Structure 1
Amino acid sequence: MRYESITDAIGGTPLVAIPPEVHGLVGIDLYAKLEMLNPFGSVKDRAAWNMARERLDDARRDAAAVVELSSGNTAKALAVIAGMHGLPFRSVTNRMKVPEIKDLLLLLGAQIEELPGQTECLDPTDTEEPLTRMYRRLTEERSEFLHTDQYFNPLNRQAHQDATGPEIVADLDGRVPDYFIACVGTAGSSTGVARALRARGAVGVWGVVADRSDFIPGIRTADELTEVGLFDPDTFDRIDSVTSQQAIDGMLVLNRRCGILGGPTAGAAYFAAVRALGEVEVAPGERKTAVFIVCDRVESYMSYVRQRRPELLQRPARANDVRTVSEDEVAQVRSLSVAEAAEWIERERPVVIDLRGSFAFRALHLAGSINIVDEVFGELAQDGIPVSPQQPVLLVCPVGEQSLRYAALLKRLGHRDARSLAGGVVAWRDAGQRLVSA
């Protein structure tokens, strides 16, 4: 098949059946939409091209930079598109969590601007957030930027409503699947495909999010969904959460049993699909059809796998990994309200450890606190945290979820008194307590 431009190859990805002996579902045909086979490697290729293409001529005329608040696949696709058209690309983010993506963006010539922030997500209502201020600047009428605005741009959703969804129906010989399962990030692909399918018939739409205290690349947690302008709760008949361990388990099935080299997001979608479809009752002689999306490829996530499942790469397992902390251990941690924490700091002088990214810490943090980024903290736990076990410790994170688990890990390691700040830095700020910058 011949194309005049690589962008002409975006879309038209195959729909591949998952063997019944692999998924084990009775009376259900399960298919994977292989968006990883888009030319730049992910489902985001469609949205990136749809959001940028009509504005590229004006951007060249004005010597504008293509800018997006992204640290992942959208940034990667836009970096390629911008470079093809002689334009610079800037990725603006609070934190680059996947080293391989950061290296690839730099290789593609992208400029990466990591801004400080109190949380790791864009909150458009918080006028004090540097990331929010940058977002508002980008959304103004400024000729020096081509801001694609993936979180709120309807062209993100439209790319999938016009193409991805209809492709699924066409590949099913004109039938609408009974169920569509999609991970929710910017909500562009999930809502766009859902609208296309529902315009053609009845379909159950199931969203997949990351567990509240966990991280899966490209997927939001339930608490973060309200920050995405394209997210519409009415789109989804149910929303299920998946842990990073479950996502990797699902990924391994796709990689090893199906020959589909999808990444953790694909694994999360597959795991959630099989788990939820296992609850569906299918009458004798009846068959149901379900489709999930394979968002991108596994090769970009070796560091993610190495950190969470080192044994898969023939490396020794971690004895003290925060992911091994049980709910019983978490229940033993004392979570302090802002008032209780302020009083305890004044009285006991604990070591206050902020687990957020360095840029967020530099912007605003509790006075006297030290910064040990969560991943680094996890590494240090293998040999012992550089704090005396007799010294009281208060752990702080954006909203108080991670800090609970890390405090439980400290207690496992023999620390006498490790506590967590309930509600994290956000609660501390909202209560009017003092925050300082570095």
Structure 2
Amino acid sequence: MRYDSITEAIGNTPLVRIDPDVHGLRNIDLYAKLEMLNPFGSLKDRAAWNMVRAGLAGAAERGETIVELSSGNTAKALALIGGLHGLPFKSVTNRMRIPEVKDLLLLLGAEIEELPGQSECLDPTATDDPLTVFHQRLGRPGNAHLHTDQYFNPLNAEAHAQGTGPEIIADLDGRAPDWFIACVGTAGSSTGVASALRAHDPAVRVIGLVGEKSDFVPGIRTADEVQEVGLFDPAVYDAIETVSTGEALDGMVTLLRRCALLAGPTGGAAYLGALRHLRPLDAELTERRTAVFIVCDRAESYLGYVRARRPELFGRPAVKNSLTTLTAADLGQVTAIAVDEAQKWIGSGRPLVVDLRGPFAYAALHIDGSVNIVDELFDELVRNGMPFSTSRPVLLACPVGEKSARYAALLTRMGHPDVRSLAGGIVAWRDAGAPLVRD
């Protein structure tokens, strides 16, 4: 197979049947669409190429820079495509959460700008957020950037409506699957594939998978975050279900060790989410059915992410003090206090206020007197024991109050006598008009 350009190798990825002895479904054939085998390593290769190719010639003439609000696979694909066409690429993000991806982008020659966004993801309604302001400026005429705008660009979904979806139908001998299960990030792949499959067979059921509110699975937005994505339309999905980090890693390990698929955590989440949805249905079927999920990228970029959460997979001792070990009983012990109560407590009880957001979000606006310990670092500190004295009360804050509640539960279980979580997080504090300071 010979190509004149590497971009010609994008698409036409394999559809591989998962061994029933692995997944245990009796009446459903489960297939994985291996988007990790695109030339740049992920599902995003399709969208990146479809969004940028029409503007490449003009951008080169004008000396523009390709820019995208991405810290992951879209950025990687655009950096490679830009280099291929002699164009620089700039990644703008609130926070680079996967160190291996950041290092790879730098190796590819990308410029990375981390703006002091107030939350962990772009919120187009937050007009005072620096990340949102930057996004709005990119849309104005006359700027020196080719902005691909993956969260709102219909060419994102079109790449999958014209490529990924029809390929699935062709590989199933002209039939659409009965179920399509997809993790939802920018919503481009799930929206585009769903439109192609339903155009062929309106009865196809589409299951969208989002992250749990306080969790982080690379490439997947949480139930709250996904509402801010311009391409997201809840009407596309027959059901939207949550998937946890633990499930993503369990599924990833199964795909790696039992199926020889070098899947990343998002592929693991799609596999486990598919099984969880399909198992109750499988028992009631009398005819064979078909389901497809997507393995969107590869495992190698996430070794640090996996090691931090599952050290035992690397021959290291399991972590006792971890959010993954929390039970419903632990979470039931959390004391979450509203903004007005928190203000009074800060004034009278003088608790240590710990802001768990990223450094740029903290620098943008934070509670006066609070200390910034990024959640990843805080996680490492907690793993090694109580990170501060138990003689002083503690108030934990995060963007919307969910991750702080989980850490409050963990610290309470570890023996801290008075640790509380700010209900609604910094967003609630801001919306209540409570004072915030800027570095």
Indicate the TM-score class for this superposition, using the shorter chain for normalisation: over 0.9
Could you say if the C-alpha distance between residues 283 and 413 of structure 1 is closer, same or farther in structure 2, counting changes exceeding 3 Å? Answer: closer
Q: Where does residue 32 of structure 2 map in the other structure?
A: 32
Q: Distance in 2 between matches of 1:376 and 1:193?
A: 38
- 1:321 paired with 2:322, answer yes
**TM-score relative to the length of structure 1:** 0.98
Shift of 1:138: 0.8
Q: Where does residue 219 of structure 1 map in the other structure?
A: 220
The unaligned stretches of length 5 or more in structure 1 are: none
The equivalences for 1:36-435 within 5 A come to 36-201=36-201, 202-281=203-282, 286-435=287-436
Q: Distance in 2 between matches of 1:184 and 1:330?
A: 27
Q: Distance in 2 between matches of 1:47 and 1:177?
A: 22
Deviations along 1:124-166, one digit per CA (max 9) or x if unpaired, are 0111101001100111113410000000000000000011100
Shift of 1:280: 1.1
CA contact (8 A) 1:36 1:294 kept: yes
Deviates more, 1:331-340 or 1:145-154: 331-340
Alignment length (residue pairs): 438
CA contact (8 A) 1:251 1:264 kept: yes
Q: Distance in 1 between matches of 2:181 and 2:323?
A: 29
Deviations along 1:91-142, one digit per CA (max 9) or x if unpaired, are 0000111111000000000000001122101000111101001100111113
Q: Distance in 2 between matches of 1:433 and 1:126?
A: 17
CA contact (8 A) 1:64 1:87 kept: yes
**Paired letter, 2:37:** L
Q: Distance in 1 between matches of 2:277 and 2:386?
A: 40
Q: Distance in 1 between matches of 2:282 and 2:8?
A: 42
Superposed CA RMSD: 1.0
Shift of 1:414: 1.9
Q: Distance in 2 between matches of 1:62 and 1:122?
A: 28
Q: Distance in 1 between matches of 2:248 and 2:104?
A: 23
Q: Distance in 2 between matches of 1:160 and 1:17?
A: 20
Deviates more, 1:39-48 or 1:253-262: 253-262
**Paired letter, 2:153:** N
Describe the SS at the equivalent of 1:70.
coil
Q: Distance in 1 between matches of 2:212 and 2:126?
A: 24
Q: Distance in 1 between matches of 2:408 and 2:282?
A: 43
Q: Distance in 2 between matches of 1:347 and 1:176?
A: 63
Q: Distance in 1 between matches of 2:277 and 2:103?
A: 36
Shift of 1:382: 2.7
Q: Distance in 1 between matches of 2:179 and 2:10?
A: 25
CA contact (8 A) 2:321 2:385 kept: no
Shift of 1:384: 3.3
Q: Where does residue 13 of structure 2 map in the other structure?
A: 13
Q: Distance in 1 between matches of 2:123 and 2:363?
A: 18
**Paired letter, 1:23:** H
Shift of 1:314: 0.7
